[in-house]
Chains A and B, each alone.
Chain A
Amino acid sequence: MATREEIVDRCQELYDDLNFTSARAWKDAEAGRHVIGFMPMYVPREIIHAAGMLPLGILGGGDQLEVIQGDAYYQSYICRIPRSTIELLLTERLNFVDGMLFPSICDVIRNLSGMWKLLRPDVYAHYFDVPQNYLRDVGGEFYIHELNVLKEGLEKISGRKVTDEALKNSITLYNENRKLTRELYKFRAEKPWLAPSSEIYLINRAGMLIPVEDHNVLIRDYINAAREEDRPKRDNSRVVLSGSFCEQPPLNLIKSIEMAGCYVVDDDYMLVNRWFTKEVPTDCDPMEALSYTFLEASVKMPSCFEPNEDIKGQFLVDTVRENGAEGVIFAAASFCDPALLERPILQDVLNLAEIPHVSFKYSENTGQMQPIREQAGTFADSIKLWS
């Protein structure tokens, strides 16, 4: 079995590779293989997998990509992830991708789907809509239709039908992946000194890049290896991080928060790998299963309407309580509409629950960590003073 360091090193290598070498290798290994890129939030990776394709999470260009052409397409008041994603496209780093999915996370990513169509008219680019109405016969039905539109789009690329059996098999694999991811989070929440956030993060990012089968093994191996280790426990405060579900902070920022004295015990980075809070059933029609689970067991996040005002924002209080956290760090990407517009409501809910919080903004290429270290450090200290 690989050691923890070896696993983390491999994930770091995957994370650093802006050419997606491993996904390219996967595609080249067999004729007729296809890769489908997807942007943050949620896409049903099960359908892509069932179509025999590799779902590839595109989470921007990070802090190592020099953006030139991408800036030519975006005004300064728009977040960074679309510009670095365009840069990846125009520098041919995504030329092996056979299709791109743009979830309904915000207007910027939504419009990026149209830009893709204009820039690469020959490549499948699809805005993937999810329902904001959660009744089975209303939103559910619409969503089943959307899932089938996606399935048919993929079938056109591969030239093969996606069978129900394949879908059920894929659902099982992703159920396992979500279960393992939850385990990983639970493990970190219990013993954060054994599972630093930067490592958990890298494990998750690897899941965006490699086949789910491999990732399932990887998570398991990591937990087993990490559990056995003896690492120094620090006198850190326990916090939940909220607002980083789309544009990702640089790894240095994630490390900085921990170094500043905060154990992150829950977060909302790339929610796709733990979107459902329960298993997707495999004993019924798979599209219905995916649709109804979406309606009834999705995580709460700002791009989805909350029909019930009484529980608006409550999820954040719940995760704080469940994970024994002492406060919340709102870390939102600059110009991120969903995160920044949601924030005042969440802050209000936290205030009512008397949970302390602090806020800052970042971008995926934020270079200066000092202010963030200072804020997170002061927050950690003040939590200790209050408690």
Chain B
Amino acid sequence: MKCFIGIDLGSTTTKAVVMNEEREIIGRGITNSRSNYDTASAVAKQEAMIDTRFTLLRNNLDGNEKLRNNQDVFLNDLERNFRREQFVEQLDDLQTTCLRNAEGDRFDDVRSTLTEVLAGVFDKLRHESLALYAKGATRKSDFFRDIAGGRFLTLSEETSREAGINYDFALNVYDKSIIEVENRPPAGNLEKKFLDGLRHLTEESPELGITFEDVQDPVTRALAVELEETFVVGTGYGRVRLPFPKEHIRSEILCHGLGAHMMYPRTRTVLDIGGQDTKSIQVDRNGVVDNFQMNDRCAAGCGRYLGYIADEMNMGLHELGPIAMKSTKAVKINSTCTVFAGAELRDRLALGEKREDILAGLHRSIILRAMSIIARSGGISDQFTFTGGVAKNEAAVKALRELVKENYGDVTINIDPDSIYTGALGGSEFARRAVMEA
């Protein structure tokens, strides 16, 4: 079948969307952008294609008697098991790579011990993967580096100590190897991972009452469909170095405008707050961009501002919003400068202001900057759509709703939980048009 693919290479994450001929979204994928854009694109695309297989499978399972009430549970469980297979596959790759990287002279004295340490660590990691991907378990990230990295370091430190070698050896090979592994899209056999996952699922969840044979056929059929990469359109901040030929590249502004229009056809203003930039886009009723403005050189008002604050407070980026939501009275943060905001923050903390109130103030301050950019682009006249990573932050959304109301009255504000895919969605539609409407 024909697949039209949009890839949005962001500064922090890379997103891909697969669209079919009927203009339906059939797959989505996301990965961290890394330093290598080719890999990021390839991985995001691969993820979106895997997601597409799941969509096909879902379609195949529709009406399946055995799954009448359990279809969603089944598919989620299958995906979880599939992810575990994928995780283990990458663990194997990482182990092999680590061993190869331990071949240098400087490891001569410790090689045999190190090999044992690594074997032990990876055995534990493989074992832990069962719990990590167990039913109901949550993972702090979907990205391999995030999940495997922390545990590897902890385990190898312990194991090295026990084995009596310096922990630096394990650390050193890991640092080298993780980059290599990360920059290699998972290469293993897709069908095998699906089927292994399915097998594990049926063993793990007898209560579903599903046997391997019950679903083997729809799974095999979903895997057998040939997914043709009919046309790929790339977009995103890193566009200057996008790994695509020029005619396959569309500006992120056009892609975001169109993507938002497709999600909410009555959108006239789109605000996207990403890691590196903030953009306000005005679109007409056909999703054609009328005007746009982006943040100036200053990084205040971008997602990076929150990242910086999180670092300053020694917290995770995702913890900021929930804490800020506890605030009853936002502190006014004056510094629009990212660097100064850190100093002001410490000053406020020293003055005894509450952490949640300061954080609420910081969220308001980032949205204030965005409001200025919206005003620059022509303000808000009708439906307003908020997209990008920051749209997932509830405190930012709260501040945005307040400020939009204060400045533009009651307008419809659209926020899609999957808004991070807006640019890629617009890209996939451009890809579809390039072929179907050429």
Enumerate chain A interface residues (CB-CB to B < 8 A).
Answer: 63-64, 66-72, 75-77, 365-371
Interface of A, secondary structure class, is loop
A366 to B376, CA, bound (A): 24
Q: Give B367's nearest chain A residue, CB to CB.
A: A68
CB of A368 within 8 A of CB of B368, answer no
In the complex, how many angstroms separate the beta carbon of A85 from the nearest chain B beta carbon? 15
- Chain B residue contacts of A64, Cβ below 8 A: 332
* B296 CB contact (under 8 Å) in A69, A75, A370, A371: A75
Interface: B291 (CB within 8 A): no
- Chain A residue contacts of B334, Cβ below 8 A: 63, 365-367
CB of A72 within 8 A of CB of B298, answer no
- Chain A residue contacts of B407, Cβ below 8 A: 68
In the complex, how many angstroms separate the beta carbon of B281 from the nearest chain A beta carbon? 15
CB of B375 within 8 A of CB of A367, answer no
In the complex, how many angstroms separate the beta carbon of B202 from the nearest chain A beta carbon? 57
CB of A72 within 8 A of CB of B296, answer no
Interface: B403 (CB within 8 A): yes
Given A69-B372, A371-B343, verify A76-B297 contact (CB < 8 Å): yes
CB of A368 within 8 A of CB of B376, answer no
A68 to B280, CA, bound (A): 14
Given A76-B297, A367-B344, A368-B344, verify A71-B369 contact (CB < 8 Å): yes
Q: Which 5 A-B pairs have the closest CB atoms?
A: A71-B372, A72-B375, A367-B334, A76-B298, A365-B334
CB of A68 within 8 A of CB of B375, answer yes
- Chain A residue contacts of B372, Cβ below 8 A: 67-72
Interface: B96 (CB within 8 A): no
Interface: B214 (CB within 8 A): no
- Chain B residue contacts of A77, Cβ below 8 A: 297
A336 to B373, CA, bound (A): 24
In the complex, how many angstroms separate the beta carbon of B331 from the nearest chain A beta carbon? 9
* B347 CB contact (under 8 Å) in A66, A71, A72, A370: A370
Interface: B335 (CB within 8 A): yes
CB of B343 within 8 A of CB of A66, answer no
Interface centre among A70, A369, A370 (most CB of B within 10 A): A370
Q: Give A68's nearest chain B residue, CB to CB.
A: B371
Given contacts A63-B334, A76-B300, 4 further A-B contacts (CB under 8 A): A66-B332, A68-B407, A76-B296, A367-B332
CB of A367 within 8 A of CB of B347, answer yes
The 18 listed contacts between A and B (C-beta, < 8 Å) are A66-B368, A68-B368, A68-B403, A70-B372, A71-B336, A71-B369, A71-B375, A72-B374, A72-B375, A75-B296, A76-B296, A76-B298, A76-B300, A76-B336, A367-B347, A368-B340, A370-B343, A370-B347
In the complex, how many angstroms separate the beta carbon of B118 from the nearest chain A beta carbon? 48
A66 to B330, CA, bound (A): 13
Interface centre among A68, A69, A366 (most CB of B within 10 A): A68
A369 to B350, CA, bound (A): 11
- Chain A residue contacts of B375, Cβ below 8 A: 68-69, 71-72
A67 to B407, CA, bound (A): 12
A278 to B179, CA, bound (A): 74
Q: Give A64's nearest chain B residue, CB to CB.
A: B332
Given A68-B403, A68-B407, A76-B296, verify A367-B333 contact (CB < 8 Å): yes
In the complex, how many angstroms separate the beta carbon of B258 from the nearest chain A beta carbon? 25
Interface centre among B348, B368, B375 (most CB of A within 10 A): B375
CB of A368 within 8 A of CB of B347, answer yes
- Chain B residue contacts of A67, Cβ below 8 A: 368, 372
- Chain B residue contacts of A72, Cβ below 8 A: 372-376
Number of interface residues, chain B, beta carbon within 8 A: 26
Q: Which residues of B334-379 have CB atoms within 8 Å of chain A's CB atoms?
A: 334-336, 340, 343-344, 346-348, 350, 368-369, 371-376
CB of B350 within 8 A of CB of A370, answer yes
A263 to B372, CA, bound (A): 39
A370 to B371, CA, bound (A): 29
A70 to B296, CA, bound (A): 15
A374 to B335, CA, bound (A): 19
- Chain A residue contacts of B350, Cβ below 8 A: 370
Interface centre among A63, A71, A366, A371 (most CB of B within 10 A): A71
Q: Give B295's nearest chain A residue, CB to CB.
A: A76
Q: Give A334's nearest chain B residue, CB to CB.
A: B337
A36 to B336, CA, bound (A): 31
A72 to B373, CA, bound (A): 6
Interface centre among A69, A365, A368, A371 (most CB of B within 10 A): A368
CB of B373 within 8 A of CB of A368, answer no
- Chain B residue contacts of A70, Cβ below 8 A: 372
In the complex, how many angstroms separate the beta carbon of B179 from the nearest chain A beta carbon? 35
Q: Give B375's nearest chain A residue, CB to CB.
A: A72
Q: Which residues of B66-111 have CB atoms within 8 Å of chain A's CB atoms?
A: none
A49 to B260, CA, bound (A): 56
- Chain A residue contacts of B340, Cβ below 8 A: 367-368
- Chain B residue contacts of A366, Cβ below 8 A: 334-335
CB of B347 within 8 A of CB of A369, answer yes
Q: Give B348's nearest chain A residue, CB to CB.
A: A367
- Chain B residue contacts of A69, Cβ below 8 A: 372, 375
CB of A368 within 8 A of CB of B332, answer no
- Chain A residue contacts of B297, Cβ below 8 A: 76-77
A369 to B371, CA, bound (A): 27
* A368 CB contact (under 8 Å) in B298, B335, B403: B335
In the complex, how many angstroms separate the beta carbon of B9 from the nearest chain A beta carbon? 26
Q: Give A66's nearest chain B residue, CB to CB.
A: B368
In the complex, how many angstroms separate the beta carbon of B199 from the nearest chain A beta carbon? 58
Interface centre among B297, B334, B343, B347 (most CB of A within 10 A): B334
A63 to B348, CA, bound (A): 15
Interface centre among B348, B350, B372, B407 (most CB of A within 10 A): B372
- Chain A residue contacts of B348, Cβ below 8 A: 367
- Chain A residue contacts of B344, Cβ below 8 A: 367-368
In the complex, how many angstroms separate the beta carbon of A188 from the nearest chain B beta carbon? 28
A370 to B340, CA, bound (A): 12
- Chain B residue contacts of A63, Cβ below 8 A: 334
Given A69-B372, A69-B375, verify A368-B343 contact (CB < 8 Å): yes
- Chain B residue contacts of A369, Cβ below 8 A: 347
In the complex, how many angstroms separate the beta carbon of A91 from the nearest chain B beta carbon? 10
- Chain A residue contacts of B300, Cβ below 8 A: 76
A68 to B350, CA, bound (A): 28
A70 to B375, CA, bound (A): 9
A68 to B348, CA, bound (A): 23
Q: Give B368's nearest chain A residue, CB to CB.
A: A68
A61 to B371, CA, bound (A): 18
A370 to B333, CA, bound (A): 15
Q: Give B403's nearest chain A residue, CB to CB.
A: A68
- Chain A residue contacts of B333, Cβ below 8 A: 367
Q: Give A366's nearest chain B residue, CB to CB.
A: B334
A75 to B369, CA, bound (A): 12
A64 to B333, CA, bound (A): 10
- Chain A residue contacts of B336, Cβ below 8 A: 71, 76
A66 to B364, CA, bound (A): 11
- Chain B residue contacts of A365, Cβ below 8 A: 334
